[in-house]
Amino acid sequence: MSENNRQFPREEIHIEVELKFLNDETRTVITRDVSQGGLFLRLKNSSHYPMGEMLNLRFKHPLENYQETVKDGIIVRRGEQGIAVAFIEMEEF
């Protein structure tokens, strides 16, 4: 998908995010970019996290006046630099 066709435009913003998987410890990582629909997390071992894995995120949302935010997400893409996570609402399932 080209940058112009995105539903939610990305902004290159680097913030700390607490990342929690179901059977894993919480860890803090840094974003590469953020949008209203998700974010990209910089991770050195992105292959460790399977596509479709659900996770919980806690961060101060820069697009919402740095309001403390807790979101559920799902891994939609992996790359050498990290993982792309789309925000989901649990009612969707």
What is the CA angle 21-3-11, rounded to 5? 60
Q: Write out pLDDT tens, residues 4-63.
A: 566 788 889 999 999 998 777 899 999 999 999 999 999 988 888 899 999 999 999 998
Q: Write out pLDDT tens, residues 59-87.
A: 999 988 999 999 999 999 999 999 999 99
Q: Which domains does the chain have, with CATH numbers?
A: 3-92 (2.40.10.220)
